[in-house]
Structure 1
Amino acid sequence: MHIELKNRKAIVTGSTAGIGRAIAEGLARAGAAVVINGRTQERVDAALREMRTLLPEAELTGVAADIATAVGCTALFEHAPDADILVNNAGTARLNNFFDQVDDEWLDLFQLNVMSGVRAARHYVPKMVERGWGRVVFISSESGLNIPKEMIDYGVTKTAILAVSRGLAELVAGTGVTVNAVLPGPTNSEILSKWMNSAAKEQGITQAQAEREFLAAARPTTLINRFATTEEVANMVVYACSEQASATTGAALRVDGGVVRSIA
């Protein structure tokens, strides 16, 4: 299958590293003009330099904006007022104790993981509908189905993303705009890799050993018995953004290594 996205403009939020970065690169390789986003100018500039070296023919721009805030989202919209493809990837996770958390910690995470995508969809999707073509992908997680006890707040935000994605797909039904969610499992993303590296140092083991121990203890239902790569997740997202995926909408597309024990 050859995916061709020339003459399409894509916005990938939270795309200076990790899964978002791999998605941005995948879309650029397919020919899309890509806008990357991060919270600081330093990270955006570094990502642009690296990507331009890797993909010298690609059309790449970047905007530094903290889209956990309405002000940051406005800055993104001013830089990139229109898009054919929107990938709502920005988000984070924090290990925590449910009983020690305060309201502001819950609300801050919700603003980044959920409201950033809500605001972006509210801005970009109406114009996609007018043109009769568009692709929207929300990055959820298998944790939205299997809520992790060590970060219940994160699981709740990822479940909320599934609801927003499905509801928006219903709202734009029949317009040529598709809306889907992609659910990664344990992945060698920036955040999880840092956790595994820290765990390995604490235990005096290799990071590979730390990853195996994590899977055995926290994700024993994995079928691939390893962490996914960011590129493996990006491949699903790029497909969902393609012309070939025109009949795929309202879906929760799992790239979880089989962690979720379900055939549906």
Structure 2
Amino acid sequence: MKIDLTGKVALVTASTGGIGFAIARGLAESGAEVIVNGRSTESVNKGIQQLQQVVPGVQVRAAVADLSAPDGVDAVLRAASRVDILVNNAGIYGQKDFYSTDDETWETYWQTNVMSGVRLSRALLPGMVQKGWGRVVFISSESACNIPADMIHYGVTKTAQLALARGLAKFVAGSGVTVNSVLPGPTMSDGFASMMKDEMEKTGKSLEQLAKEFVMANRPSSVIQRAATVEEVANMVVYVCSTQASATSGAALRVDGGVVDDII
């Protein structure tokens, strides 16, 4: 199977590192023009430079904005007026006791993880429908199905993304536009690497070994019994964005290594 996205324009939110960057790279390697988004000019420029190094000749644009507020989304839309592929990857996470999670925290998570995707989809879907082709992907999480007790506020927003994607898929039914969710599980992202930095120095263990130990201690239902790489997550996203995935819409596709103990 050869995925060819030549002539397509892809906006990947929060794409300066981690899973977002891996998705941007995968789409660029498939021929798409990529719009890199991040919250600072420095991070976006760095992300673009890295993308240009690993994908020579890539067509790439910058969209500097914090998507947790409407004006940030408006800023992105000024740089991305025509988009064929929208990957809603922007999101925040963090452990917090439910009793200590105040309204402000809930609102921050809701605006960043859910409303950023709502606003971008509302603005960009009409153009896709008019052209008769488009792809919208929400990067959710296995936490959407397996709500973590120490991150209830996060899990709720991830579940909301599944509902939003399914509803939008039905809303644009028959248009040639597909809307799906991808649910990563434990992944060796930049954030995980930063979290494990001190432990790596203290124990001398590799990131892969520490990630495996984390999975076995905290997600023992994992079938692959290790963490995924960001590239493995990106591979699923790139496929869902391809022309070959035209019969997949309204789906929640897990790249969780089998953590969620469900056959459906």
TM-score, normalised relative to structure 1: 0.96
> In the alignment, is residue 131 of structure 1 matched against residue 131 of structure 2?
yes
What SS does structure 1 have at the residue aligned with 2:121? helix
Instruction: Please name the residue that 1:211 is paired with.
Output: 211
In the TM superposition, what is the alpha-carbon distance from 1:53 to its structure 2 partner?
A: 1.6
Counterpart of 2:261 in structure 1 is: 261
Q: d(CA) in 2 for partners of 1:194 and 1:116?
A: 25
The AA in structure 1 aligned to 2:127 is K
State the 1:205 CA deviation.
Answer: 5.9
Amino acid aligned to 1:76: V
Cα contact 2:208–2:227 (8 A) shared by 1: no
Q: Which residue of 2 aligns with 1:13?
A: 13
Aligned partner of 2:151 in structure 1 is 151
Say whether 1:120 aligns with 2:120.
yes
Q: 2:34 maps to which residue?
A: 34
Where does residue 50 of structure 2 map in the other structure?
Answer: 50
CA distance in 2, matches of 1:162, 1:184: 13
Q: Cα gap change, 1:125/1:256 in structure 2, threshold over 3 Å: closer, same or farther?
A: same
Distance, in Å, in 2 between the alignment partners of 1:149 and 1:197 is 25
Match of 1:222 in 2: 222
Residue type at the aligned position of 1:33: E
Separation in 2, partners of 1:111, 1:31:
32
The separation in 1 between residues aligned to 2:15 and 2:124, in whole angstroms, is: 18
The CA deviation at 1:86 is 0.4
Counterpart in the other structure of 2:169? 169
Tell me the distance in 2 between the aligned counterparts of 1:99 and 1:45: 40
The runs of 5 or more residues in structure 2 that have no matched partner are none
Taking the aligned partners of 1:249 and 1:44, their CA distance within structure 2 comes to 31
Amino acid corresponding to residue 148 of structure 1 in structure 2 = P
- For 2:197, the equivalent position in structure 1 comes to 197
Give the stretch that moved more between structures: 216-225 or 192-201. Answer: 192-201
Pairwise CA RMSD: 1.3
Secondary structure of the 1:224 match is coil
Return the letter of the residue paired with 1:47.
G
**Helix, strand or coil for the counterpart of 1:259?**
coil
Match of 1:185 in 2: 185
Q: Deviations over 1:27-52 (max 9, x none)?
A: 00000000010000000001111111
- Give structure 1 stretches of 5+ with no counterpart: none
1:186-229 Cα distance to aligned partner (Å, 9 max, x none): 0011222222334556x746344432332122100011111100
Q: 1:46 to 1:110 in 2, by over 3 A?
A: same
Aligned-partner Cα distance in 2 for 1:205–1:98: 35
Higher deviation after alignment, 213-222 or 71-80: 213-222
Find the aligned partners of 2:24 and 2:215 in 1 and give their Cα distance.
Answer: 28
Tell me if structure 1 keeps the 8 A contact 2:98–2:152: yes
The C-alpha deviation readout for 1:110-141, integer Å capped at 9, x for no partner, is: 11111111110000001101111000000000
8 A Cα contact 2:216 2:226, kept in partner: no
The answer for the alignment partner of 2:76 in structure 1 is: 76
The count of corresponding residues between Structure 1 and Structure 2 is 263
TM-score (norm 2): 0.96
- CA–CA distance in structure 2, aligned partners of residues 199 and 103 of structure 1: 33
Aligned partners of 1:82, 1:60: CA distance in 2, in Å? 14
Secondary structure at the residue paired with 2:151? helix
1:125-161 CA-to-partner distances (Å, cap 9, x unmatched) read 0110111100000000000000011211111110000
Equivalent-residue separation in structure 1 for 2:213 and 2:21 (angstroms):
27
Q: Residues 46-89 of structure 1, C-alpha deviation per residue, up to 9 Å, x if partnerless? A: 11111112212110111110011101000000111120000000
Aligned residue for 2:91?
91
Report the equivalent of 1:108.
Answer: 108
Contact 1:10 1:33 in 2 (8 A): yes
